[in-house]
Structure 1
Amino acid sequence: MSEVLNKKEIAQFVHSGFVRIENAFSQEIADAVLAILWNDLPCNRSEPSTWTEPVIRLGMYSQQPFVDSLNSTKLHLIFDQLIGEDKWIPCRRVGTFPVRFPSVEQPNDTGKHVDASFPGKEPDNYLTWRINLRSKGRALLMLVLYSDVSEKDAPTVIYDGSHMDVARILATEGDAGLSFMELAVKLDDLPKRKEVYATGKAGTIYLCHPFIVHSAQPHRGTTPKFMAQPPLLLKDQLSISGAANGYTPVEQAIRLSLE
């Protein structure tokens, strides 16, 4: 298997919970995505006076530019490195998009959280979705930048190493795990972690461990921020014990946290 990530990058993913991939897709693909998204927004791209909301959410998209952005040979090789060959499902839809606009208003979605991965008792209510120690259904969280994002442009805050804290919480919760909200209320009590801002040029992707704690923040820049945070789906569940052929980096991180 060809390898894209070097040993240092793999170690960063295991210990910090994320790795940054630059030039994961082209500016041309990013521009095509933005054209579609702007067409669906209830405001005018060239008139900032129409940008009256701090955040507008758009849904899932399956047009070719979206699919192409997450299905390059380079990315597929990295997925194999982090998760293992034939253990993940290629992305055929991308979303949702929390489009963030410059605003003095405080958005209502800036709390720390971990993205859940499988349905709970109310499949249509994401707050009841769940996450367990073997990350049923989710291989990675991906923070995909379709516009340039500076520190002023509401970059997502990644809490370095927080995936290990979350693994320790989930270790006592069995196969059912915790719901999105049950886990969210525990996050402020976790050890303080270094804050890393998910900045970069359009085409940058942060590949994150599925347990990483992250949060949104207000936009204090001048240009709307376009980012998607889709899951990379897992065919089954991760292995954290009894594996005959060793453990992948995403599994190694969980095992390390439980030592």
Structure 2
Amino acid sequence: MPNPLPALSAAQIEQFVADGFVRIDTAFPADIAAECRRILWADTGCDPDDPSTWTRPVIRLGNYAQPPFVEAANTPVLHSAFDQLVGAGRWTPQGSLGTFPIRFPSPDDPGDAGWHIDVSFGWEENPSDFLSWRANVSSKGRALLMLFVFSEVGEDDAPTRIRVGSHRDIARQLAPAGEAGLSLRELAADNFATSAHRKQVLAAGMPGTVYLCHPFLVHAAQPHHGTRPRFMAQPPLQPREPITLDRADGSYSPVERAIRLALA
């Protein structure tokens, strides 16, 4: 059933097309975020009240599909926004929120702070070689990149860095490779220099904030210089039907329009 109220204004949709992302405050309730943090803290093996136990810059926790996580990912606001950005009936509801990289205040290099896009297929052939996984111009296997904020994240709390408009650079880079696409190794060969000129913004926010991003948006982690651990998930929104760049009826979603405009 279509959502009765649109989550995004026309201006926000056009911002998504131009910039490659849109921020939604209070996309899910803060009390749900707190319940999720409680579960995550228990799995870190760290004491939330004792910073001496925070001995690593990042702890990666596995797939989370417990009820509060599924509830956070499937609010009416988010479903409405998915309809608006991807197209009604063209996406699959979230069954989980995937992996959580929990970032702790630390002087140490986290080892994963390079610029990249989230690739979306090819792991079946090389499950242990992440750099061989692929993306193509029709974003096979991924309708959106999503950043779910579960703790208060300020500028010093390792917010994800975003290159505004970089989805257009990646679309142009992927287009000549056709359906086969490019591996992350190929995409990163120049350290994503084609988007280095782009303005950078930080994915900060309060618990319940969600950034809905174009699947080609270039982004990066960073070291944590603050005082409070950062809890965030970055699951894909998976397509129910393929992203299509040549629709007979012209009913292009904003995700598709952004790619077409980049290639025009």
TM-score band w.r.t. shorter chain: over 0.9
1:255 maps to 260
Q: CA deviation at 1:144?
A: 0.5
Q: Distance in 2 between matches of 1:81 and 1:124?
A: 35
1:122 to 122, 126, 130: 126
- The 3 A distance-change label for structure 1 pair 87 and 124 is farther
- Structure 1 regions of 5+ residues with no counterpart? none
Letter of the aligned partner of 2:199 in structure 1? K
Tell me if structure 2 keeps the 8 A contact 1:165–1:190.
yes
Aligned: 1:189 with 2:193: yes
Aligned: 1:157 with 2:147: no
Tell me if structure 2 keeps the 8 A contact 1:137–1:235.
no
1:202 to 201, 207, 211: 207
Q: Which of 119-128 and 71-80 deviates more?
A: 119-128
1:89-144 Cα offsets, whole Å, 9 max, x none, are 11111121110000011110000000011124213543322110000110000000
Aligned: 1:214 with 2:219: yes
Q: Distance in 1 between matches of 2:189 and 2:201?
A: 21
Q: Distance in 1 between matches of 2:205 and 2:85?
A: 22
2:51 to 42, 48, 51: 48
Written as runs of structure 1 = structure 2, the 5 A alignment for 1:69-108 is 69-108=72-111
Tell me if structure 2 keeps the 8 A contact 1:114–1:184.
no
Letter of the aligned partner of 1:11 in structure 2? E
Q: Distance in 1 between matches of 2:108 and 2:93?
A: 37
1:174 maps to 178
Letter of the aligned partner of 1:122 in structure 2? N
Q: Distance in 1 between matches of 2:188 and 2:161?
A: 15
Q: Distance in 2 between matches of 1:8 and 1:107?
A: 37
Tell me if structure 2 keeps the 8 A contact 1:137–1:236.
no
Q: Distance in 2 between matches of 1:243 and 1:156?
A: 37
| Identity across matched positions, percent | 53
Number of equivalences: 259
Tell me if structure 2 keeps the 8 A contact 1:136–1:236.
no
Letter of the aligned partner of 2:263 in structure 1? L
SS of structure 2 residue aligned to 1:234: coil
SS of structure 1 residue aligned to 2:177: coil
Q: Which of 155-164 and 240-249 deviates more?
A: 240-249
Q: CA deviation at 1:44?
A: 1.2
The list of structure 1 runs, each at least 4 consecutive aligned residues, that deviate by more than 6 angstroms after superposition, is none
- Structure 2 regions of 5+ residues with no counterpart? none
Letter of the aligned partner of 1:115 in structure 2? D
Q: TM-score w.r.t. structure 1 length? A: 0.97
Letter of the aligned partner of 2:258 in structure 1? A
Q: Distance in 2 between matches of 1:102 and 1:96?
A: 20
Aligned: 1:19 with 2:12: no
Q: CA deviation at 1:184?
A: 2.0
Query: For the aligned residues, what is the CA RMSD?
Result: 1.2
Q: CA deviation at 1:145?
A: 0.3
